[in-house]
Amino acid sequence: MRYISTRGNPPSTADSSGPTFCQILLGGLAPDGGLYLPDHYPQVSRTELDQWRGMAYADLAHAVLTKFIDDIPLDDLARLVARTYTAEAYGNGRVSAQASDITPLRWLEPPDPAQREAGLAILELSNGPTLAFKDMAMQLLGNLFEYVLARQGEEINILGATSGDTGSSAEYALRGKKGVRVFMLSPHERMSAFQRAQMYSLHDENIHNIAVRGMFDDAQDIVKAVSNDHAFKARYRIGAVNSINWARVAAQVVYYFKGYFAATGGIAGSNDQQVAFAVPSGNFGNICAGHVARMMGLPIGRLVLATNENDVLDEFFRTGVYRPRAAAETSATSSPSMDISKASNFERFVFDLVGRDPAVIRRLWAEVDAGGSFDLSGTPFFARLPEFGFVSGRSTHADRLATIRQTFGQYGLMIDTHTADGLKVASEWRTPEMPMVVLETALPAKFEETIVEALGCKPERPPGLQGIESLPQRFAVIDVSVDAVKELIAQGVHA
């Protein structure tokens, strides 16, 4: 498997040019500023789906990832995924979690064969060490980094940006890892108290937290600017853990297969049954993995994209206009991990939408990178949109409070604010013939203030996370400045 950039030229079939998985694993953005994708989407046959259906999560991860990774020996990759997806690692989240399932499916409304009614379910993705779905990919990424760095005898400095959950997931996955330093940017005072405490209370020598006086988009722009300074990137061996890193997306593809099998386990002709997935989305990474799974042949009938008040992506799927907002126009909401107005992974989908033409992507993103927008309405590209199965919707603070209350009252289940956004929009797109699976984002303990507002009680916390907000915190605060971040990286490397 070779990889191409969304802004570059496809490799020659004759010489199979293009980097391999391990070569792009450590690099983040492509040198031309684009994002990496496989040069083709590997196809999964119905026979393979039958074979994969009963697999444990680690075995399924190995089967899926070998479609994308052919430069790590099969036995080594099997050991890496087996070490990652364990009951011990994914038993720290929900107090009553079925840890051995890694991603158990919880039916809210089970399928009713008598009435031919499709079900509504939540796929639990937040049983990892930081109580967020990001752990599903990040724990594997940490083990992949350590393996490849040891094999190559190298070190790396990870530069990332977080709107809330990526940071803690990355830091818990990489703390203490040999040859790795982490420099994580976050929007100053824009995350929940729990999210801040998870990150800033880590005192490992290889972890550096940097709070930026701005929005997540400002932090993300800094990461891209540093990555596009090729001399600095080479000198300090800058890598990425944000979902601009293809390995993150590839690892997330796995739970779409697992969720599909769980949702269709009791349905006759299972591998012909289509399933809808509803995904709370800010940076488009999580739902991009669903797009990849669908392109591989997984029978996903519909990808339901849910935004909060920052509805840039919903606007595109409704109108064809992609109009990123400035920081001043980006709302601070009660689902803060989605307070994003420039969705990095969206470029990957648009690349497929425009027929994988890098010249079109360069033209469109020249407008975006200059602070503008683009409009595909009325073009053949936008006319193709239904082929990809996307629909979308928007949720507000009042919506998520109502959804949290309804879900708790009707099903006895407490959900977090982002999952509430997904469930609200999912309810608008349910159809009788297709099960609807909502991807859980995080546990409600991470957003205690809003849960109290909605339900009048505090969410239960897993053991060991009581009073985390009172722990000593260590972080630097800076203005929005690329140079300031570069200076902190240099200081951290030479300390």
Q: Which two tokens stand for residue 431?
A: 């159809």
| Catalytic (active site) residue 134 | yes
Contact 350, 364 (CB under 8 A): yes
Indicate the angle between helix axes 246-264 and 285-296, nearest 10 degrees: 60
Given the structure tokens 């060490």, which residue do they identify?
A: 129
Phi-psi region of 52 (alpha: psi -120 to 50; beta: other; left: phi over 0): alpha
Q: How many C-alpha atoms does 165 have within 13 Å on its Cβ side?
A: 34
Both tokens of 426, joined, read 């999912």
How many other C-beta atoms can be found within 10 angstroms of the C-beta atom of residue 154?
Answer: 11
Provide the Cα torsion 461, 306, 293, 24; round to 10°: -80
Longest dimension (CA), the chain: 68
Tokens read off for 238: 């800058």
Q: Return the beta strands (E) in 192-348 as ranges.
A: 207-212, 238-239, 275-280, 300-307, 321-322
Length of the chain: 495
Q: Are 227 and 28 in contact (CB under 8 A)?
A: yes
Angle between helices 397-411 and 417-429 (to 10 degrees): 80
> Hunting for tokens 């990496």 — which residue is that?
36
Task: Find the catalytic residue in 67, 134, 178, 342.
Answer: 134
Pairing relationship of beta strands 374-375 and 321-322 according to DSSP bridges? antiparallel
- As beta bridge partners, residue 121 has 107, 437
Strand-pair partners of 273: none
In contact, 230 and 17? CB cutoff 8 Å: no
CA dihedral 91, 96, 101, 104 (to 10 degrees): -120
Q: How far is CA 209 from the centre of its chain?
A: 20
- Give the list of residues 6+ apart from residue 151 with CB closer than 8 angstroms, or none: none
CB 61 within 8 A of CB 81: yes
Tokens at residue 62, please?
């190995």
Minimal CA–CA distance to 197: which of 466, 420, 488?
Answer: 466
- Known catalytic residues are 134
